[in-house]
Amino acid sequence: MAENLEKEILAWFEHFHANPEVSWKEVRTTQAIADILDNLGIKYRRFSDVTGLIAEIGEGEEVIAVRAEIDALWQEVDGVWQGNHSCGHDAIISMVLGALHYLKNQRLTKKVRFIFQPAEEKGNGSLAMIERGAIEDVSHLFGIHLRPVEELPMGRVSASIHHGAAIFLEGKVLGEDAHGARPHQGKNALDVIVGLHQFVKSIYLSPFEAYSAKLTKVIAGGESLNIIPGTAEFAIDVRAQKNEVLEKLKDQIDNGINSLQDLYGVNIEWEWSDFTPGAEVSADAEAIAEEAIRDIAGSEMLAPPVITSGSDDFHFYTIKNPNLKATMIGVGADLQPGLHHPKMNFDTSALDLGARILAETLFRA
């Protein structure tokens, strides 16, 4: 892998960065990846009903795979709502394409599959790729992601990222409006919301586990300040480092909302959505990535595993196929102020390093 593709990888990054597209609408992004693969002479498969594509190189019965997410966030930047790659997916596409380019002329004894996946930010793009055969016959799956500077300094690389599990609840309190002078004639939805907030903050699990639950949306009342609102909409963000702890949180919140209905004499409608599982890291896949990092960057640049409460739908691949050996590589790139910040930026010299390490990881696997 003596050739240097740093300028080419940077040019790809600049294109994807300047042309962000949100989940399930990555039409031009998919076409741009296809055009790059055409220029490289790489075969790929597209889909008539979803964005994204799957490419393969190499020969053999066994398959090694890597996933690149391709969507952007919809975000307010300098007062304007727009697509924005503050998630770093533009960097991931470029590093994965770089790894493919580094590998395409190598003698490979296995197939290497490149999954360019839509809608990671929606939490279900991985499921669409699984349904379309992305991990059929795959023994090892790898991912890669830039990490905030507080997790990994510039140039340090981790062989695994241990994401937490997450799930979201959206609900509605159905009480009864009343005049501000006659509160006894109604059922104040805000009383229920306050009770819900107090309940959520009083959930206690083992202090040895990492978890959180918090209200993230409340909509109630109107322009008339003398009307006690009978209805209110709300949302709860629930996270845990382990999937089984998340399930305990979910059960306690369900029980609590049922109790609040009885306590306040109201109906509450709620629904859970966008579950994203926590990481199930394979020691075997992690060891392969560690050796690649040592070889390309040097042993002094190998960082410990990254533990983060953030989530990623990469882990659906292992949930759906427990025999899959998977890990996601974390790359330090002086990323600031943080992922999903509208002004997120990083040192782009880390892109070629990430591509080389990923190529070496896939080669070793």
**What is the average per-residue pLDDT within 213-228?**
97
317, 326 contact by CB (below 8 A): yes
Q: What is the pLDDT of residue 274?
A: 86
Confidence band for 38, pLDDT divided at 50, 70 and 90: very high
pTM beyond 0.75: the answer is yes
Q: Which of 88, 12, 142 is nearest to 347 (CA)?
A: 88
Per the listing, tokens 């369900």 go with: 254
**What is the average per-residue pLDDT within 318-331?**
97
248, 209 contact by CB (below 8 A): no
Confidence band for 288, pLDDT divided at 50, 70 and 90: very high
Query: Is 136's pLDDT higher than 60?
Result: yes
Q: Residue 5 and residue 3: Cα distance in Å, rounded?
A: 6
Which pLDDT tens digit goes with each residue over 62-120?
999 999 999 999 999 999 999 999 999 999 999 999 999 999 999 999 999 999 999 99
Buried b (16+ CB within 10 A) or exposed e, 237-264: ebbbbbbebbebbbebbeebbeebeeeb
Angle formed by the axes of helices 350-364 and 6-18, to 10°?
110
The tokens for 123 are 């939490």
Q: What is the pLDDT of residue 309?
A: 86
Please state, in angstroms and as integers, the Cα–Cα distance from residue 220 to each residue in 186, 187, 194, 297, following that order: 15, 13, 12, 54
Q: What is the pLDDT of residue 300?
A: 98
**Do strands 73-77 and 63-69 pair parallel, antiparallel, or not at all (unpaired)?**
unpaired
**What is the average per-residue pLDDT within 282-295?**
98
Per the listing, tokens 């039409």 go with: 27
Share of the chain above pLDDT 90, in %: 96
Q: What is the pLDDT of residue 2?
A: 56
Domains plus CATH for the chain?
6-164+278-364 (3.40.630.10), 165-276 (3.30.70.360)
The tokens for 215 are 């209200």
Q: What is the pLDDT of residue 1?
A: 55
Share of the chain above pLDDT 70, in %: 99
Q: Residue 286 and residue 303: Cα distance in Å, rounded?
A: 12
**What is the dihedral sign for C-alpha 237, 240, 241, 242?**
negative
Which pLDDT tens digit goes with each residue over 93-108?
999 999 999 999 999 9
Q: Residue 266 and residue 187: Cα distance in Å, rounded?
A: 7
Q: Any idea of the CA torsion for 293, 297, 302, 305, to the nearest 10 degrees? A: -50
Q: What is the pLDDT of residue 3?
A: 76
Q: Residue 301 and residue 314: Cα distance in Å, rounded?
A: 25
**What is the dihedral sign for C-alpha 353, 356, 360, 361?**
positive
Half-sphere CA count of 146, side-chain side, radius 13 A: 33
116, 54 contact by CB (below 8 A): yes
Average pLDDT, the chain: 97
Q: What is the pLDDT of residue 225?
A: 96
Enumerate the β-bridge partners of residue 67. Answer: 115
H-helix or E-strand spanning residue 179: strand 178-179
Q: Which of 216, 245, 219, 243 is nearest to 231 (CA)?
A: 219
Q: Which of 131, 180, 107 is nearest to 320 (CA)?
A: 131
**What is the average per-residue pLDDT within 187-203?**
98
**What is the average per-residue pLDDT within 299-310?**
96
